[in-house]
């Protein structure tokens, strides 16, 4: 088979498989979380039931434009993952990811509702908090492999983690923000009984909310894909580490109380500036000499 055909198959597998895997992951998440809290928890298929139910609900919105932004959020989230799994340019992937996130924030802004407005602001703060570390991760991967292409990075024979341990830890740190886990679940949460109601997603309902859920499934699989890259020299190990990382995030979620946005912002930038930059500098000198 030609490489183009293989790439096409991988992308199709991603398009169909990512929401299924992502949904199952979300189901497992809920079971594990429940067990950690001494509850029994829902069946593993619960996230799918939720989404199906949301889809059957009446379409309601606070204005005519907000659904447009959410649709773009979903579209570009799928696009982000598609370019990633097609082995494309990592920077292009990351910029598409940013574009997707911005669309969600804009959707929340457009509703002009106080809770979603603050949710949107906090989501933006979170984006600003994790963005440097994400770019440093891409830069580190480039310096180690001399390529921005995901295909080349995945095919790199030396374990990336060997060059980029600091960047890996930094990336896992901001992953907590990206997965919307406590202590960094500032902008929205699964439960609508907190100070911001449901924050960012307060004014989204029915099929629109379902789109956001599905987009998150795609996003989570893509993010675990980046974790996988650090261990891609051994595919099995890569998958195991990705799953362990997710488990770690659940553990962190259940053992931490929400922090303020100030601490989120500060800590994420400090992690990026110390762990991330230090690692980048070491790789820069080690590999350029």
When binding is defined by CB under 8 A, the residue of 32, 34, 44, 102 that contacts other proteins is 102
Joined together, the tokens standing for residue 188 give: 């929205």
Contacts of 125 (CB under 8 A, 6+ apart): 186, 261, 264, 265
When binding is defined by CB under 8 A, the residue of 96, 164, 175, 229 that contacts other proteins is 96
- Of 36 and 124, nearer to other proteins (C-beta) is 124
Residue 112 binds other proteins (CB under 8 A): yes
Residue 171 binds other proteins (CB under 8 A): no
Rounded Cα–Cα distance for residues 253 and 289 (Å) = 42
Q: Which stretch binds other proteins (CB under 8 A): 121-129, 151-159, 170-178, 218-226?
A: 121-129
Q: Is the peptide bond before 183 cis (omega within 30 degrees of 0)?
A: yes
Say which residue the tokens 């995945």 belong to: 154
When binding is defined by CB under 8 A, the residue of 197, 200, 229, 232 that contacts other proteins is 197
What are the angstrom distances between the C-alpha of 269 and each of 168, 170, 175? 15, 10, 13
- Of 25 and 111, nearer to other proteins (C-beta) is 111
Q: Phi first, then psi: give them for residue 231, nearest 5 degrees.
A: -120, 25
Contact in structure between 167 and 280 (CB atoms under 8 Å): yes
Say which residue the tokens 């307060």 belong to: 202
Rounded Cα–Cα distance for residues 72 and 136 (Å) = 26
Q: Is the peptide bond before 108 cis (omega within 30 degrees of 0)?
A: no
Residue 65 binds other proteins (CB under 8 A): yes
Residue 274 binds other proteins (CB under 8 A): no
Burial 80-89 (b: 16+ CB within 10 A, else e): bbbbbbbbbb
- Of 24 and 92, nearer to other proteins (C-beta) is 92
Rounded Cα–Cα distance for residues 191 and 29 (Å) = 15
- Nearest CA to 111 out of 54, 56, 68 is that of 68
When binding is defined by CB under 8 A, the residue of 51, 54, 78, 105 that contacts other proteins is 105
Residue 267 binds other proteins (CB under 8 A): no
Q: How many residues bind other proteins (CB under 8 A)?
A: 66
Residue 194 binds other proteins (CB under 8 A): no
When binding is defined by CB under 8 A, the residue of 14, 117, 184, 246 that contacts other proteins is 117
Q: Which stretch binds other proteins (CB under 8 A): 6-14, 30-38, 47-55, 131-139?
A: 131-139
Joined together, the tokens standing for residue 265 give: 């912002």
In the region spanning residues 199 to 218, those forming contacts with other proteins, defined by CB under 8 A, are 202-203
- Of 153 and 272, nearer to other proteins (C-beta) is 272
Phi-psi region of 45 (alpha: psi -120 to 50; beta: other; left: phi over 0): alpha
- Of 125 and 239, nearer to other proteins (C-beta) is 125
* DSSP-derived secondary structure letter, 67: H
- Of 110 and 188, nearer to other proteins (C-beta) is 110
Residue 245 binds other proteins (CB under 8 A): no
The footprint of other proteins (CB under 8 A) covers 58-68, 71-72, 75-76, 79, 83, 88-89, 91-92, 95-96, 98-99, 102, 105-106, 109-118, 120-121, 124-125, 127-129, 131-132, 135-136, 139, 142-143, 148, 197, 202-203, 262, 265-266, 269, 272-273, 277, 280-281, 284
């Amino acid at each position: 088979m030609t490489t183009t055909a293989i790439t096409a198959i991988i992308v199709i597998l991603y398009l169909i498989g990512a929401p299924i895997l992502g949904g199952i992951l979300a189901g497992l998440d809920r079971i594990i979380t429940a067990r950690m809290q001494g509850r029994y928890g829902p069946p593993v298929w619960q996230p799918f039931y939720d989404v199906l139910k949301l889809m059957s609900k009446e379409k309601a919105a606070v204005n005519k434009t907000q659904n447009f932004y959410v649709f773009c959020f979903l579209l570009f989230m799928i696009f982000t993952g598609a370019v990633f799994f097609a082995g494309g340019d990592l920077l292009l992937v990351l910029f598409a990811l940013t574009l997707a996130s911005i669309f969600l924030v804009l959707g929340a802004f457009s509703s002009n509702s106080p809770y979603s407005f603050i949710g949107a602001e906090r989501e933006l703060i979170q984006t600003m908090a994790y963005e440097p570390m994400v770019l440093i991760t891409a830069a580190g991967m480039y310096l180690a492999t001399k390529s921005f292409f995901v295909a080349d990075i995945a095919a790199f024979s030396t374990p990336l983690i060997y060059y980029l341990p600091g960047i890996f830890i930094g990336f896992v740190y901001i992953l907590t923000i990206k997965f919307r886990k406590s202590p960094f679940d500032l902008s929205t949460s699964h439960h609508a009984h907190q100070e911001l109601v449901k924050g960012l997603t307060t004014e989204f309902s029915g099929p629109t909310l379902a789109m956001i859920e599905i987009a998150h499934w795609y996003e989570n699989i893509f993010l675990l894909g980046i974790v996988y890259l650090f261990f891609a020299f051994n595919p099995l190990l890569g998958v195991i580490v990705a799953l362990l990382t997710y488990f770690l995030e659940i553990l962190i979620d259940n053992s931490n109380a929400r922090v303020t946005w100030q601490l989120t912002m500060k800590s994420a930038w400090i992690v990026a500036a110390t762990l991330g930059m230090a690692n980048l500098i070491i790789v820069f000198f080690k590999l350029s000499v």
